[in-house]
Amino acid sequence: MRVLVIGAGFAGACAALLLRESLGAEVLLVERGAAPGGMLRTLHTREGVPYEYGPRVVSVFRGTPDILPFLRRFLALEERVVYQGTRLRPDFPVIPFPVDLESVRRLPCGATIERELAAIREQGAPPGERDLRDYLETSVGPTLTGLAFEGFNRKFWGRPLQAMPAVWGKLRRLERIASTGSYRLPSEAAHYYPPGGFNPLFERMLDGFELRCGVTVTRIEADAGGATVETDAGALRADLVVSTAPIDAMLGFRHGPLEWRGYRVEVDLADPAREAPLGTAPDGVPFAWLYTPWAETPVCRTTDFGVIHHGPRMADRPGPTVVLREIVDDRVSMYPVWWEDERFLRYLDDAARVPNVIPLGRLGLYKYTTMDSTYAMALRLAGSLGDYLRGSHARRVEILRAIRGDWGN
């Protein structure tokens, strides 16, 4: 079977590898960019200092822990302590996120927050479900809701909290903001970084594959025997196409473009002789990244790559390291939005009518993914491909929904 994979990001690379391993497929990948990797790239400043554009660390949030042995086939992974900080207002001190009670007490409104948290604990009622504001206010109190979520929601999602569903908070377990003691990025598993960066991953995963970079797919024409893929470098023919390109573009934007939220990035260099650029948690470990949730700044998060690349000791930094700011910019397609569900499902329904073409990945299935959930999607695709190709339209929609998973995984 000859398979053509559109896009050589992590989803495309996983699909190529799994389909070759499970079906013995002959796979060609076409990639619009100059190199494979997509969002998952280690870049360098003009001075040659490395930083990551997308994933900073490998974490196992909700996807599958199998990602770790899978990645270790190609990369050495070192564990990293990832602490997150937040500066809830420009004039407030930096504290850990999720917040701990000891740090909350250092805030100007600390006593009020403490009282509200104590009242919620005393009541012992489950969080409200009316909307996101209700969920948050009954989980962490109105003061912390205003400081940590109100402004961020407005500047990033462009919606007030009461216009968002409670499930948005539940999925992210936002009530854990009130938990005490752990400064780590909330996740059941540890976090890992491959020393030297992520780029060798693609050289190794795609070793032996035919990969054509700098080629953009413009259209797919499917038929009973396979599909013809039109590109800016001519037409290509395959028995099966896996498309990790945006589903709306591949279907000619027939239902209109899907909305996204995103960031552009700005980088600076930090001097290793100075103290941790984003501050430290009460136990002295530097923050790997810092949130600035108030509405008046367009910066949402700042990352100190020194911690991620070299660990928590400033003395271990060999020279300048990168500090990266993420600035709200909706022209960058990073995060899908829940209010596009209906339009997306129309696209999914149409995609299931196209024979021999299957969408995958964050763009193909319009889903916020991490590396572990991307790998999990590719595993589900490889496991259900036979069924998909033989199935009725209704069955194919069902399989695509299962491959995508829900917002929680």
Ligand X SMILES: Cc1cc2nc3c(=O)[nH]c(=O)nc-3n(C[C@H](O)[C@H](O)[C@H](O)COP(=O)(O)OP(=O)(O)OC[C@H]3O[C@@H](n4cnc5c(N)ncnc54)[C@H](O)[C@@H]3O)c2cc1C
User: Which spans of this chain sit near ligand X (rule: CB under 6 A)?
Assistant: 6-12, 30-33, 38-40, 54-59, 216-217, 244-245, 334, 361-363, 369-372, 374
Closer of 78 and 102 to ligand X (Cβ): 78
C-alpha distance from residue 334 to each of 173, 251, 259, 278, 367 (Å): 21, 20, 10, 24, 9
Q: Cβ of residue 95: shortest distance to ligand X, in angstroms?
A: 22
Q: Is the dihedral of CA 198, 365, 375, 208 positive or negative?
A: negative
The burial of 12, by beta-carbon neighbours within 10 Å (0-12 exposed, 13-18 middle, 19 or more buried), is given as: buried
3-state secondary structure of 163: helix
> Least distance from C-beta 70 to ligand X, angstroms?
12
> Toward ligand X, which CB reaches closer, 174 or 363?
363
What's the longest Cα–Cα distance across the chain? Answer: 69
Q: How far is the CB of 360 from ligand X (least distance, A)?
A: 7
Nearer to ligand X, 128 or 200 (CB): 200
* 54 vs 142, beta carbon nearer ligand X: 54
Burial class (CB in 10 A: 0-12, 13-18, 19+), 60: buried
**Residue closer to ligand X (CB basis): 141 or 246:** 246
Encode burial over 20-49: b for 16+ CB neighbours within 10 A, e otherwise. Answer: beeeebebbbbbbeeebbbbbbbbeeeeeb
Give the Cα-Cα-Cα angle 322, 324, 327 (nearest 5 degrees): 165
**Can you tell me whether residue 41 is helix, strand or coil?**
coil
CB of 302 to ligand X, least distance (A): 12
Q: Are 61 and 369 in contact (CB under 8 A)?
A: no
Q: Smallest distance, Å, CB 224 to ligand X?
A: 24
Instruction: Provide the minimum distance between the beta carbon of 120 and ligand X in the complex, in angstroms, as a whole number.
Output: 31
Phi and psi at residue 115, in whole multiples of 5°?
Answer: -60, -45
Bond into 98 cis (ω within 30): yes
Minimal distance, residue 183 CB to ligand X, in Å:
17
Looking at the Cβ atoms of 133 and 301, the one nearer to ligand X is: 301
Q: Identify which of residues 10 and 135 has a Cβ nearer to ligand X in the complex.
A: 10
Q: Which is nearer to ligand X, 176 or 264 (CB)?
A: 264
* Beta bridge partner(s), residue 26: 2
The per-residue DSSP string of 316-333 comes to G--S-EEEEEEEE-TTS-
